[in-house]
Amino acid sequence: MRPGNLLRYDQTLFRDPEVFEFTFVPELLHHRDAQVRELACLLRPALRGAGPGSAVLRGPPGTGKTTTVRRLFADIEDATKKLVPVYVNCQYDRTPLAVYRCIFERLSGYAPPSTGRHLDDLKRGIAVRLRNEDAGLVVCLDDANYLAAAGRLNTLLYQILRLYEKWDVRKAGVLAVSSDLTLNLAAEVDERVRSVFHPTEVNFLPYTKAEVREILAERIRQGLYPGVMPPPLLDRIAGIAAEERDIRVGIDLVRLAVLRAEEDGRRRVDPVDVTGAVRAIVAPVLRTRAAGLSEGERALACRIAERSREGADMTSGAVFEAAKEYLPVGKTTYHEHLKRLAEAGIVDLVPGTGRGREREVVLRYDPDEVAAVCARPDRSG
Ligand SMILES: Nc1ncnc2c1ncn2[C@@H]1O[C@H](COP(=O)(O)OP(=O)(O)OP(=O)(O)O)[C@@H](O)[C@H]1O
Ligand SMILES: [Mg+2]
């Protein structure tokens, strides 16, 4: 490295570090057109003086549920006063009082006094404002699975959706968001809620590698100076994040890799920065997954990593033929090992188009990482 390339202590590779914060709401939302369209369609009646519809938004963590709602709500705020969107994070605001305080604050522009506010006073205050503005209300209950867990989902939905009965306002809409796929929010509600809550289900699937790449590329354009992140390294990061099925992993990998380059006084991210960032983020997860594996299973994982790195044939039969030259395993044991690796979340076994049991063995992690973790089980750093 030439001294001229060294960054001065006050120089940074980040044009805008905030872009890599998880709370950042991007201007451009890629690959969520279908969901945005569906939600906009539900809310549109509110612009014509009717009540907005309701929805349940479902998808695993890091699939853009919160961001989609935030973006949509920001657009509604810019476009109209006929519909007031209120975002509530139920991880923090779980009681009816807390939720109504959020709605009140959004409508009036100031927080209600912290004491002496009865729930009914808050509701009246909200209703008066909605009536004065002739506006509809849509409330997003983000991470509503916390409400369900706290046993408060029914009460809250009931109160919000039936606000109109007592206070002579339009029926409100609710967007209930959940990342707990074992929980069916629409089925959790009891009968009195069900009669007013007919949510459309809007699903959020994990992003594909190409989608992750595009989303990260946009972040990089905004957040870094040109040329800091070489495209092949972005590719590698996108692959890892797609395998992890969580775009947050990708955003964090970019941020950490750039920080490493910055600390080292370079203007460009190197492969070693990405490897370091992967170690810091992904390796702990991988180590936990590998912890319960037997020696034979680890050895097989290493062979799979090697073949995957070489770009060799990854059908389960071909992997077996290659592995048996190195490992003392028969076909039955081999298939048991493979099944264990899949259960541990280290490989996916993808059914092929061929005969019978033949599967494509797809590594879920960077081969170098798998080899490093599985070859040295006691490695702690
Ligand atoms: N389509 C997208 N375009 C740009 N950025 C996105 C997109 N989807 C997600 N992100 C970014 O990924 C991160 C995670 O997204 P988000 O918080 O919306 O996920 P989520 O589905 O709400 O996850 P959780 O269930 O854990 O709350 C955020 O930093 C967000 O900005
Ligand atoms: Mg979220």
Which parts of the chain have pLDDT scores under 50? Answer: 1-4, 378-381
Does the CB atom of residue 251 touch ligand 1 within 6 A? yes
20, part of any domain: no
Question: Do 41 and 163 belong to one domain?
Answer: yes
Question: Do 282 and 333 belong to one domain?
Answer: no
Question: Do 185 and 89 belong to one domain?
Answer: yes
Question: Do 71 and 170 belong to one domain?
Answer: yes
Q: What is the pLDDT of residue 9?
A: 56
- Of the CA atoms within 13 Å of residue 58, those in its CB half-sphere come to 13
Question: Do 184 and 40 belong to one domain?
Answer: yes
Task: Decide if 224 contacts 237 (C-beta within 8 A).
Answer: no
CATH of the domain at 316: 1.10.10.10
192, part of any domain: yes
Q: Ligand 1 pocket test: which of 21, 28, 37, 66 has the largest number of ligand atoms within 8 Å of its C-beta? A: 66
Q: What is the pLDDT of residue 8?
A: 58
Does the CB atom of residue 213 touch ligand 1 within 6 A? no
Full residue range of the structural domain in which residue 229 is found: 207-289
Number of domains comprising the chain: 3
For Cα atoms 154, 158, 159, give the angle at the middle one, nearest 5 degrees.
120
For the stretch 220-276, pLDDT in tens is 999 999 999 999 999 999 999 998 888 999 999 999 999 999 999 999 999 999 999
- Which residues make up each annotated binding site for ATP? 63-67, 207, 219
249, part of any domain: yes
For the stretch 155-207, pLDDT in tens is 999 989 988 777 778 889 999 999 888 888 888 889 989 988 999 999 999 99
Q: What is the pLDDT of residue 117?
A: 66
Question: Do 110 and 150 belong to one domain?
Answer: yes
**d(C-alpha 48, C-alpha 165), whole Å:** 20
Question: Do 240 and 306 belong to one domain?
Answer: no
**d(C-alpha 278, C-alpha 145), whole Å:** 30
Question: Do 320 and 226 belong to one domain?
Answer: no
Does the CB atom of residue 66 touch ligand 1 within 6 A? yes
The last residue of one of the domains, among 203, 237, 266, is 203
Question: Do 95 and 138 belong to one domain?
Answer: yes
381, part of any domain: no
Q: Ligand 1 pocket test: which of 68, 213, 247, 249 has the largest number of ligand atoms within 8 Å of its C-beta? A: 247
Q: Give 142's strand partners.
A: 89
Q: What is the pLDDT of residue 7?
A: 54
Question: Do 68 and 102 belong to one domain?
Answer: yes
> How much distance in Å is there from the Cα of 209 to the middle of ligand 1?
15
Q: Mean pLDDT score of the chain, rounded to an integer?
A: 89
Question: Do 72 and 168 belong to one domain?
Answer: yes
Question: Do 77 and 46 belong to one domain?
Answer: yes
92, part of any domain: yes
28, part of any domain: no
Q: What is the pLDDT of residue 379?
A: 42
18, part of any domain: no
The last residue of one of the domains, among 222, 254, 289, is 289
Q: What is the pLDDT of residue 166?
A: 77
The last residue of one of the domains, among 183, 203, 223, is 203
214, part of any domain: yes
**d(C-alpha 221, C-alpha 227), whole Å:** 10
> How much distance in Å is there from the Cα of 303 to the middle of ligand 2?
38
Q: Which amino acid is at 6?
A: L
Task: Decide if 14 contacts 133 (C-beta within 8 A).
Answer: no
